């Protein structure tokens, strides 16, 4: 496999099967994807076509059944689990389709968590958590726990958390799925701003507005990439 400078993601021959009732569901059937530094890519396609599966494989969350992924210059699944976790913690941000916030922690503590894991001192992470929650419009909700936040607010806490360690690449799975139009538009602006500052983004979305905001759209169907176009 080549290791082109400026390549953030290089995935080859990705097959993903999930064991299911003694059988296997094939969610990805041979996917190649390249993403360069500084790109913003939208991944679109019908429900069940494999978008979340692909994102999880690309981000180092779930190994493929077959195929290879280079992420930020490393052979992602050639690394041992500790090295892969460190890479994800320090250089990658992930926004899950279902938030994955910890219900027992406040919004601010949720945002602080990845910084604590990365060894950022308490005071610095408290200040940065507040700054990030301000950034996503939640400066007035820092002490609230997720069960006391709306879906859109939880989504924004999850986004703030993903930004905590200043990732070079952000993966987002339906980041505007729970948001009203206005908040959704704010999140799109936020992503565009991050992208202008040099962050690479890969965003799975059903939302035409999000897809329109991305210069490149990767279209999936039935476990395959069926189109990849750069907007003129
Ligand atoms: N843990 C699992 N066990 C068995 N099958 C799974 C599992 N996760 C996903 N699948 C199957 O793999 C296929 C792809 O799922 P995936 O979640 O990647 O789709 P998606 O494109 O993200 O869909 P959506 O837009 O609804 O989120 C689906 O048919 C799904 O049922
Ligand atoms: Mg999904």
Going from the Cα of 55 to the center of ligand 2, the distance in angstroms, rounded, reads 9
pLDDT of residue 113: 96
pLDDT of residue 97: 80
- Show me where the domains of the chain are located: 7-230
Residues flanking ligand 1, CB < 6 Å: 18, 20, 25, 27, 47-53
Dihedral over alpha carbons 116, 156, 103, 80 (to 10 degrees): -50
Q: Model's pTM, two decimal places?
A: 0.93
Which ligand does the CA of 27 lie closest to?
Answer: 1
- Can you tell me the distance from the alpha carbon of 4 to that of 20, in angstroms, rounded to the nearest whole number? 37
Which ligand does the CA of 96 lie closest to?
Answer: 2
Going from the Cα of 96 to the center of ligand 2, the distance in angstroms, rounded, reads 9
pLDDT of residue 207: 85
pLDDT of residue 3: 61
Atom 18 of ligand 1, residue of closest alpha carbon: 50
Report the chain (232 residues): mean pLDDT per 10 consecutive residues.
Answer: 78 97 95 96 95 97 97 97 96 90 96 96 97 93 95 91 96 87 84 93 90 92 91 68
pLDDT of residue 143: 96
Which ligand does the CA of 44 lie closest to?
Answer: 1
Going from the Cα of 51 to the center of ligand 1, the distance in angstroms, rounded, reads 8
What CATH code would you report for 7-230?
3.40.50.300
List, as one string, the DSSP characters of 66-123.
Answer: EEEEEETTEETTTS-HHHHHHHHHHHEEEE-TT----TTS-HHHHHHHHHHHTT--HH
Q: Which residues surround ligand 2, an ion (CB under 5 A)?
A: 52
């Amino acid at each position: 496999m080549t290791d082109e400078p400026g390549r953030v993601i290089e995935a080859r021959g990705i097959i993903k099967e999930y064991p299911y009732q003694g059988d296997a569901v094939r969610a990805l059937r041979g996917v190649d994807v390249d993403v360069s530094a500084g790109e913003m890519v939208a991944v679109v396609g019908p429900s069940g076509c494999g978008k979340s599966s692909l994102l999880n494989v690309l981000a180092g969350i779930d190994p493929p059944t077959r195929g290879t992924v280079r992420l930020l210059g490393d052979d992602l699944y050639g690394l041992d689990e500790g090295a892969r976790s460190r890479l994800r913690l320090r250089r990658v941000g992930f926004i899950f389709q279902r938030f994955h916030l910890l219900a027992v922690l406040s919004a601010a503590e949720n945002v602080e968590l990845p910084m604590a894991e990365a060894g950022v001192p308490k005071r610095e992470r408290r200040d940065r958590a507040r700054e990030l929650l301000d950034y996503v419009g939640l400066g007035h909700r820092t002490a609230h726990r997720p069960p006391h936040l709306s879906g859109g607010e939880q989504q924004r806490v999850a986004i703030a958390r993903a930004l905590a360690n200043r990732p070079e690449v952000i993966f987002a799975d339906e980041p505007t799925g729970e948001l009203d139009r206005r908040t959704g538009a704010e999140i799109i602006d936020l992503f565009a701003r991050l992208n202008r500052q040099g962050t690479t983004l890969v965003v799975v979305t059903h939302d035409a507005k999000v897809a329109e905001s991305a210069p490149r759209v990767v279209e999936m169907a039935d476990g395959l990439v069926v189109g990849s176009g750069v907007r003129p």
